[in-house]
Structures are given as C-alpha cells and as structure tokens.
Structure 1
C-alpha cells in the first residue's frame, strides 16, 4: 500500500511538472484572481475538492488560472459562456485521461510490476501523446473554421441549415447480455469506427456517440441519406459483423454550441429514429423536399420514397415522415 502511494506521488509530480507546493489560496493570490472564482473554475473542470490549507497545487496551476483570467478579460470567455465551456473541457479531458490511464495500466500489467511499469510508460509515452493531442486539436480547429466560413449565416445568427442523422443499433440490449465486457466494447468500437469513417468520407461530422447510437451532421441531405442507407445495408448483411441498425434524418436549422447541436431539427431526427423499423431509414419533410427530383446525373431518381404515417412527437403537431430506400440494381 505504501509503495503504491509512493508511485502515485511520483506520477503526480511527473505529470504536474513538480511536487505540489502551494495551497489553493496561494495559487489564487499569485494569479491575481479571487479565490471564489478560482474554486468555481476548478469545480467546473471537475477537479477534486481541496481545503484552503491542502498543499495540492503547483506553479502550473497559477499560470493556468492567470491565463483563464486573461481570456475572461479580453472577452474570449464571457460570463455567459465560461461555465459551459469550462465544463466541456473538464468532461472531455476527464474521459480521455481515464481511458489513457486504463490503457497504460493494462500495458504495465502485461510487463510485470504494474506500478514500476506505469511510471516507465508514462515517461516514454505521455510526451508523444501530448504532442499528438495538440496536433489533432489544431487539425479539428482548422476544419471547424473552414465549416464556419463556408456557412456565413452561422457567423451572424448562430444557426445553420444542415442534415441531422441518428443511427441506432437494433437489439443492443439483447446483444449486450450475450457478450462479455471486452467483446461488447470491441463490438461497439467497431460500430463507431465504421460509422465515423463513412460519415467523414462524405463530408460529415460525428457529433457524439451515445452507447448504441451515433449522431452526425452533414450539410448535404443527399450525403446523409447515402450514409444511412449504406449503414442499414451493412447491418442487413448476415455475413457482415456490422450490427443491424435503423436511422432517422431531419434537415433544417440547428444551433451549434460547444461541439453539440440543438433545436427542433435534432429532436425530429431523434423521433424519426425511434419510429423507424429495423433496417430502415425515415426522413422528415425537409429532407424529402430537398431531394425529390434529385437524380444520378442521367435524369433518373436516386432513391425510392414511400410516405409513412405521421409520427406523434413533442413539439410537432404530427411529424411528417418518408421511408427512403436505395434503388435495386
């Protein structure tokens, strides 16, 4: 137990750059930030609670608090957006850190002594991971800027016209009972990976994964339909390990905020997915109106449409729906 505590202390010192030598009161004073604001930021980031006399901080915390205060001062972090943005940072990095730590611990256990192995791996692996994370962030930032500039309406009103699609695994609960933990994780990972690859290839963006469900957006409703049909076709192929899925697509105005999307278009897509039969794709009037008459370049229709019954949904009188299928070749 004592050895584990020593390893934990050594790891903390390595990751923080030095052994903790400051209390939160001293950090706030050195950063020139009121203590209550500092505590609020740390809470929003999801950091553990510390008393005023706990020596748990370093000069790195001082610099981070000073930078946060500067972002607030120059208007990048407004009082309205600060809490939401900081919470998003905290949740995102907490999940990433938990996954990375579990991965490193597993590798260390394979090498013998988990404690010694973890320390050795941290020094060898983490600098590379840190550099890679910075690269990935900058690439995504460049992509996000490009999307923003392509849709100038977003710059002024905060809304953009896009297609929203949910893809939902059919029979997830039953399947999850048949698989052990490792098998279930591998199965869901493969579903998320294959779906993400197809979405990105068609110019879309995966917004989030919710266990057995993927939410993505793409500006072109035709691309959204193509992705959904490709995924349902794979799920219907008994020779393909890809799970059976269903999908719902809506096209209209959405509000983008902190990497997520909101609005009635998102709600419509979610409700359409719930109403879709296994292996089918339901779309709303926005998608249907945008695509009826579109063809394959030779004047031929690209899909088959069938009017579905109106779907009761909160916030809608009755949600119009069409089932879309690929043409048989």
Structure 2
C-alpha cells in the first residue's frame, strides 16, 4: 500500500472519531503519516471516552518547532538524547538514532557536499546525453571515455555532469578530431589516467587514515569521518604535487627513450642468437621478481596494523632500491614485486641488493629473487612475454635470500667482476621444459649504494 493511501486511511479514521477535528488540508504540503509514538498515543486516546477540550488558537508554523523544543527539554528529556522511550512492541520503526548521532551524521553529510563542490569545480547541471551532445559526440563514444576513466553507469535522468566534465570531454575529443590521437589511443590514455588516479587516491586516503589512527589514537571509522573535514586543505597541495610528479616522470621516460637508447640497443642482443621464443617482441629488458618468504603463513598471525606495516615496509624498500638502480617498479602484487631494468647488469645489481637488504632486515622475512634478460611487450603499464613468465617461475624455485637467473642471462654477466655465477643442476620448469638455472651472487665492488 502506498503512502497516499495510508494518509487517506488516517484522515478517514480521524474524521470518524468522535470529539476530534479532522486534520487540516493544505494545497502545498501532503498530510504526513504519524510518528510511531504519535500512533501509540492516538490508540490510547481512542480507547478513552471522548471529553471536551478547551479551544485553543492554531499554532503558527514558526512556533510549532519552538513548542516541540520546549517539550524536548522537559517531558522528552530521556537517555535517548531527546527522543521518547518507546515500547519494544512498537517494532523496528521505533529504533531511532540518538539526536547527537543524527546531528553528527548531518554534519558529515554537509562536509561531504562542501568537499564535492570543491573537487568537481562546478554544479551538476547535465545528464549524460546532454553532456555528449554538448561535446558533439554520440552517447556511445562518450560512454567509452567515461568508462575508461572509471565512471559508473548512469541513467538517462541522472543529473551528474558539470561544465568541468564537459570541458574534459571536449579536450579528449579535440585531440582525436585534430588527429593528434586516434580514438583507440585516446581511450587507452584515458584509461591509464583513470586507473592510476583511482589507485592513487585510494592509497592516499588509506595513508591519511592510518596516520590518524596511529598518531591521534582514534578508531578507523572516526579517522575516516575526520578526513572529510581535513581534505579541503590538502586538495590544492596534492594536485600541484601530482602535476609536478607527472611532468618529472614524463621527462624521465623521454630521457630513457632518447639519451639511453644507444645503451639499450647495444645490449639488446647480448647472449642471444635470434631463435628465442621472445625474439619478435620489441623491447629488450631485464625482468625481475622479488617474493617474500612465508608471507601467507605470517600474515595469518599478524593483526591488521602489523600486516599493514609489513606490506608498506616491503613496498617502500623495493621502490627505493629499484629506483636507485635505475629500474622501474611495474607493479606490486601483495607480497611480490615485478620490476624491469634496461640492461642485464642493472637488473642483476637491483636483484642482489633486494635479496641482501631483506636478508638483513630484522622486521621483514627473506625474499626469493629472480632476474631474466629477454624481450617483452609493454602495454597498459604492464609487461608481458615468456621472459616475464620465466622470471616468475625462477622466483618460485629460488632458495630464501638468493637470486636465480637462467643461462642466457648468466652469459651476459660472465666476465663482470661484480657478479659471481654458480650453475645449478638442470631443472624442469613448467611451460619451459629443462633449463639450466644459475645462482647469482655479489662479487667485487660495493654494489648499489643506498642512502
């Protein structure tokens, strides 16, 4: 039964009750259903004989709330923060929130709305078809770009887009129309931005929440509530840092493409005869994995805070070593990192430093590490190919605290005093058949110098 029928039934009951005036009608406002405690009071009155009541002047709308407030300070002054104590028989509808908690939730809601205005930069005024039409593209094309950015599906009637959204859409479309980008490239680049920023903001929020939990002594839910009030002061600084970092990273990538191209080409065929499975792939890179030993069993015995500290320390140390060695951290998968380097020598130094640092760390367990030189395909920020798969298989075979490689990679490192090569018995590796693994150790020299 709908609300209108409920209200009609209540008006009918009111009119049929002797001694009670019918509820007033208005043209602007509907008759609201009675609250649970009002229904209970009405039921009690219906059981009593009707008695004449003194005439009273109708309450002015502006004074009605004041009257209720006065009652709340006297007859409704209960332990529920101003709400009446209700009978358990009245059902779940009577389980009202304490007034203080309700006000706090309203405050958080208002803070979130203020933050949205700051972040979106304009008011939501357009539906999806209107935004697509204003950008001069079909809804299908617009949805491709919105999905690439990670936006959820929206209905035709949802007013969700701002002038800032429209400007962003026009920017992407303009690059396609001017032939700066193909549509496929535009979608791929847009997806890279959407996925990276999505991961980035989740990381930043969790870092801020963890900081408040540890240093302010508040609970996790309370820290998340406070963060809504704290974020407005951080938006501009974080945005500037993001743009700065992106420009620096892009410059570093261009530097690798240009200045280091000669070095990469010179070493791209080291130890290879062109018959390898990965020969058709475009990039010659050293691919490495580092995997924490017994992480799964250790994580079962850790509380939430210790587990978070372990993962964070592991990833921070990996990122630092890989960066100092001139490599790139491709991704972190729980207790494992995947990285690449431009030469087998750089990859070997990074691998050995990772194994040594984790072996000497009092907080983290040892790591199994591998490094393989070969050709890869780089797409969507990730790397693919047989070289990646072989490096992953060797990591699983390595002993804790050691670095394993294959005979091809070992051949490129032979004669370099910085490395010691210890061939192992032939081993069958799933997907590769028999291979000749080699244990890699540090030779002469200090290796990577960490600050």
TM-score (norm 1): 0.87
Aligned residue in 2 for 1:179 = 302
Following superposition of structure 1 onto structure 2, how do residues 285-300 of structure 1 map, counting pairs within 5 Å? 285-296=407-418
Contiguous gaps of at least 5 residues in structure 1 = 297-301
Structure 2: how far apart are the matches of 1:31 and 1:118?
Answer: 35
Q: Kindly indicate whether residue 405 of structure 2 is the aligned counterpart of residue 305 of structure 1.
A: no
Judge conservation of contact 1:191–1:243 (CA < 8 Å) in 2.
Answer: no
Structure 2: how far apart are the matches of 1:118 and 1:327?
Answer: 50
Deviation of 1:104 (Å): 4.8
Q: Kindly indicate whether residue 261 of structure 2 is the aligned counterpart of residue 151 of structure 1.
A: yes
Deviation of 1:322 (Å): 1.1
Judge conservation of contact 1:13–1:19 (CA < 8 Å) in 2.
Answer: yes
Change (3 A) 1:33 1:194: same
Change (3 A) 1:231 1:262: same
Higher relative contact order (CA 8 A, sep 6+): 1
Aligned residue in 1 for 2:176 = 72
The one of 296, 318, 321 equivalent to 2:434 is 318
Judge conservation of contact 1:275–1:311 (CA < 8 Å) in 2.
Answer: no
Q: Please report the RMSD computed on the Cα atoms of aligned residues, expressed in angstroms.
A: 2.7
Structure 1: how far apart are the matches of 2:223 and 2:347?
Answer: 46
Aligned residue in 1 for 2:96 = none
Q: Kindly indicate whether residue 293 of structure 2 is the aligned counterpart of residue 170 of structure 1.
A: yes
Deviation of 1:270 (Å): 1.0
1:267-307 residue CA offsets vs partner (Å, 9 max, x unmatched) = 111111112122221101231110111225xxxxx313223
Decide which structure has the larger Cα Rg and report it: 2
Segment of structure 1 superposing worse, 222-231 or 24-33: 222-231
Aligned residue in 2 for 1:50 = 154
Change (3 A) 1:281 1:105: closer
Aligned residue in 2 for 1:22 = 126
Change (3 A) 1:105 1:236: closer
Structure 2: how far apart are the matches of 1:288 and 1:104?
Answer: 44
Segment of structure 1 superposing worse, 157-166 or 245-254: 157-166
Deviation of 1:35 (Å): 1.0
Segment of structure 1 superposing worse, 8-17 or 103-112: 103-112
Structure 2: how far apart are the matches of 1:307 and 1:283?
Answer: 10
Change (3 A) 1:143 1:320: same
Aligned residue in 2 for 1:299 = none
1:32-87 residue CA offsets vs partner (Å, 9 max, x unmatched) = 11111111221222212211111111001101111111222244443444444333
Structure 1: how far apart are the matches of 2:333 and 2:292?
Answer: 11
Structure 2: how far apart are the matches of 1:233 and 1:308?
Answer: 24
> Residue 203 of structure 1: SS of its match in structure 2?
coil
Structure 1: how far apart are the matches of 2:210 and 2:313?
Answer: 20
Aligned residue in 1 for 2:232 = 123
1:88-114 residue CA offsets vs partner (Å, 9 max, x unmatched) = 322221122223334455678859986
Structure 2: how far apart are the matches of 1:174 and 1:148?
Answer: 42
Aligned residue in 2 for 1:140 = 249
Deviation of 1:4 (Å): 3.7
Structure 1: how far apart are the matches of 2:345 and 2:240?
Answer: 37
Judge conservation of contact 2:108–2:225 (CA < 8 Å) in 1.
Answer: no
> Residue 249 of structure 1: SS of its match in structure 2?
strand
- Which has the larger share of strand? 1
> Residue 51 of structure 1: SS of its match in structure 2?
coil
Aligned residue in 2 for 1:193 = 316
Segment of structure 1 superposing worse, 70-79 or 132-141: 70-79
Deviation of 1:206 (Å): 0.9
Structure 1: how far apart are the matches of 2:203 and 2:118?
Answer: 19
Structure 1: how far apart are the matches of 2:230 and 2:384?
Answer: 41
Judge conservation of contact 1:104–1:121 (CA < 8 Å) in 2.
Answer: no
Aligned length: 320
TM-score (norm 2): 0.65
Deviation of 1:115 (Å): 8.5
Segment of structure 1 superposing worse, 86-95 or 44-53: 86-95
> Residue 437 of structure 2: SS of its match in structure 1?
strand
Deviation of 1:19 (Å): 2.3
Aligned residue in 1 for 2:333 = 210
Deviation of 1:2 (Å): 4.2
Change (3 A) 1:106 1:263: closer
Judge conservation of contact 1:33–1:66 (CA < 8 Å) in 2.
Answer: no
